[in-house]
Amino acid sequence: MTGEIAALLTACCWVVAARLYRNLGASFSALSLNFWKGLISLLLLLPLGLLLPATELSTQQQVLLLLSGAIGIGLGDTFFFLALGRLGDRQCLLVADTLAPLLTACLAIVWLSEWLLWQHWLGMALIFLALERVLHAGKEHQQSPSWSGLSFAALAALCQAVGAVISRDIFLHSDVSVLQASNWRFVGGMLLIVPLMLLWRQRPLPRPASNWRTWMLLLLAAVLGTTLAMLLQMLAFQLTKAAIAQTLLATSIVLSLLLSKGLGDKIPKGSLSWTLAALLGVGLLLA
C-alpha cells in the first residue's frame, strides 16, 4: 500500500508543479526548463547522498540507472515537450498518459515477469476510459491531430515505460536506496540534456534573466515537481509493480481537475463524474 500511496502523492506533486511550470513557459525554452529542474534537484540531492551510506552497485546496475534517467528524463521529457507544441496539452496528455501504463505493463510482463490480477486490469481500463473522457469533455470541435505530434507523444510514453521498468528491475535485484537511485537517474538525464542543449543552441537563462521572481518560482516548481516527485516515484517503483505505479501516476490528469475546481476555474460538464470513475479505478488498483 505504501508504494501505491507514494505514486498518488507523486501525481499530486506533478499537478501543483504543472501550474507553476506553465507560468515559466514564457521565460524558458522547454529544454532549458528541463535542464534547470534537473540541475536544482541534483544540487539538493547529491550532497545528501554523499552524507548517507550508499549501496555498492555493480557497473551494470550503475549503467542501467544512468540509462533509465537518460531515457525516462532526458529523451522522455524532450519528446513530451515536442509533442506538447504540436498537439496541445489535452491531446498530448491523452496519448502519453494512457499509453505509458499499458506499455509499462507489457514491458514488465516480458522483462520482470510481473503479472497483474484481473482487478488490476479492470482498474487500469477504468482509469484509461476516465482519462479519455475527461480530456475530451466540453470539446465539440476536434482538430485533425498532428501525426508528428502523436509520434512524439507515443515515444514519450515508451520512454516513460522503459525508464520505469529499468528502475523497478534495479530495485528488485539490489538494496539501492530511493535517494541513491534518484541521483543516478538525474545524472543520466543531465548527461543527455546538456549535449542536446549544446546541439540545439538553447539559451539556458530566462528572459529577463534578472527577474528574481522567475527564479523563485522555478525553485519551488523544481523542489516540488521534480525533487520530491522523483523520490516519491522511486519509492513507488521500489514497493509496487511497475504497471500499477505508472497507472497511478497517470491520475495526475484527473487530479488536476480537482485543483482547477478548487481554484475556481471552469470545469467542462461531465468531468467530475469521470473523475469519480477514475478514483474507483484507483481503488481497484489498491485492492
Verify cis geometry, omega within 30 degrees of 0, for the bond prior to 208.
Answer: yes
pLDDT at 2 over 80: yes
Residue 216 is predicted with a pLDDT of 92
Residue type (1 letter), 6: A
Residue 204 is predicted with a pLDDT of 87
Q: How far apart are CA 223 and CA 1, in angstroms?
A: 25
pTM above the 0.85 mark? yes
C-alpha cell at 275: 473523475
Residue 73 contacts residue 163 (beta carbons within 8 Å): yes
Burial class of residue 70 (count of CB atoms within 10 Å of its CB; 0-12, 13-18, 19+): buried
Residue type (1 letter), 59: T
> pLDDT tens-digit profile of 163-189?
999 999 999 999 999 999 999 999 999
Q: How far apart are CA 208 and CA 89, in angstroms?
A: 25
* Nearest alpha-carbon partner for 132 in 184, 95, 167: 95
Q: Which residue has the higher pLDDT, 212 or 42?
A: 42
Q: Which residue has the higher pLDDT, 255 or 42?
A: 42
> pLDDT tens-digit profile of 201-255?
888 888 776 688 899 999 999 999 899 999 999 999 999 999 899 888 888 777 7
Residue 139 is predicted with a pLDDT of 57
Residue 26 is predicted with a pLDDT of 78
Cell numbers 543552441 correspond to 201
> pLDDT tens-digit profile of 258-274?
776 777 767 666 767 77
| Other C-beta atoms lying within 10 Å of the C-beta of residue 266 | 8
* Nearest alpha-carbon partner for 194 in 70, 97, 81: 70
Compute CA distances 121 → 106, 156, 284, whole Å. 12, 22, 9
* Nearest alpha-carbon partner for 69 in 159, 199, 169: 159
Per residue in 104-125, is it b (16+ CB within 10 Å) or e — as a string?
A: bbebbeeebebebeeebebbbe
Per residue in 173-182, is it b (16+ CB within 10 Å) or e — as a string?
A: ebebbbbbbb
Residue 172 is predicted with a pLDDT of 95
Q: Which residue has the higher pLDDT, 129 or 88?
A: 129
Q: How far apart are CA 6 and CA 12, in angstroms?
A: 10
Rounded to a whole number of angstroms, the distance between the first and last alpha carbons of the chain is: 9
Q: How far apart are CA 228 and CA 233, in angstroms?
A: 9
For 93-250, strand residue ranges (E) read none
> pLDDT tens-digit profile of 111-141?
999 988 888 889 888 877 877 776 666 555 4
**Residues listed for the chain:** 287
Residue 200 is predicted with a pLDDT of 85
